[in-house]
Structure 1
Amino acid sequence: MVIGDNVFIGMKSTILKGVHIGNNVIIGANSLVNKDIPDNCVAAGNPCKIIMELEEYHEKRKAAQVAEAKELVELYRERYGKEPDEKALHEFFWLFTDGNNELPECWESMMKLGGNYEYTKEQFRKNHKKFKDMEDFLKKI
């Protein structure tokens, strides 16, 4: 068995002898990996099969986060009768900022949670925000 770099293996998965899992792979929980899995994909099932390419999964997750942020804004407006602030939208800060922006403390602290701040900061510098700013996002909802 060979497992590549940057591989996430879901809980209660079984990987059979002689199987090779490539780099940058996500294996879903409870999967039975009985054949080789190539690089850069998401795979799951019993038997395990490729579900999608990693880039497609990434785009799908980004779209889901935009939808989650919109839902949060709508619920916030309904409950509090006002626009959410930076603190309320802290987990979605990457939608409104990129690596060139100065981050408010509540957003900066989110980047420090994982214990790999410098790496996270470097990755964030590559971020391309989805909206001009938070106000632009709120107008579009």
Structure 2
Amino acid sequence: MEIGNNVFIGMHSTILKGVHIGQNVIIGANSLVNKDIPDNCVAAGNPCRKIMDLSEYHQKRKKAQLKEATELVQLYRERKGKEPDERALHEFFWLFSDDPDNLPELWKHMNSLIGNEALTNEVMKKHQKSFTDMDDFLKSIK
């Protein structure tokens, strides 16, 4: 068995002897990995198979993140009668942030939880945020 770098293996997965898992791979929970898995992909199932490329998954998650953040704002407004704050949107700050040096403390803490803070900060500086800032995001939601 050989597992590449930057691999996430979901809970209760089984990897059989002699299998090679490539670099930058996500293995879904409860998967039975009984054959080689290529680099840069998402794989899952019993037996485990490639579901999509990592780039496809990234695009899918970006769309889902925007939808999830929008739903959160709508429910927050409905239930609390006010705008959500930095704490309420702490999971979504990448939608409207691209400068790790100018983040509120809570968001800096969230970035540090990833593990490799220097790399995360480098990636954040290169990524293109979807909104100018949090207020711009909030104004975009009806």
**Alpha carbons 1:99, 1:126 under 8 Å: kept:** no
Indicate the larger mover: 8-17 or 38-47: 8-17
Query: Structure 1 counterpart of 2:85, which letter?
Result: D
**Aligned length in residues:** 141
Superposed CA deviations along residues 39-81 of structure 1, whole A, max 9, x for unmatched, are 0001111111111111111111111111111111111111222
What are the ranges of 5 or more consecutive residues in structure 1 without an aligned counterpart?
A: none
Query: Structure 1 counterpart of 2:126, which letter?
Result: K
Counterpart-to-counterpart distance in 2, 1:102 and 1:122: 14
- 1:79 — aligned with what? 79
- 2:119 — aligned with what? 119
Normalization by structure 1: what TM-score? 0.89
Q: CA deviation at 1:22?
A: 0.7
Counterpart-to-counterpart distance in 2, 1:16 and 1:106: 41
- 1:27 — aligned with what? 27
- 1:58 — aligned with what? 58
**Alpha carbons 2:100, 2:121 under 8 Å: kept:** no
Percent of residue pairs bearing the same amino acid type? 72
Query: Structure 2 counterpart of 1:10, which letter?
Result: G
Alignment of 1:32-51 (within 5 A): 32-51=32-51
- 1:6 — aligned with what? 6
Superposed CA deviations along residues 18-49 of structure 1, whole A, max 9, x for unmatched, are 21111111111121111111100011111111
What are the ranges of 5 or more consecutive residues in structure 2 without an aligned counterpart?
A: none
SS state at 1:29 partner: coil
Counterpart-to-counterpart distance in 2, 1:112 and 1:6: 17
Counterpart-to-counterpart distance in 2, 1:7 and 1:115: 14
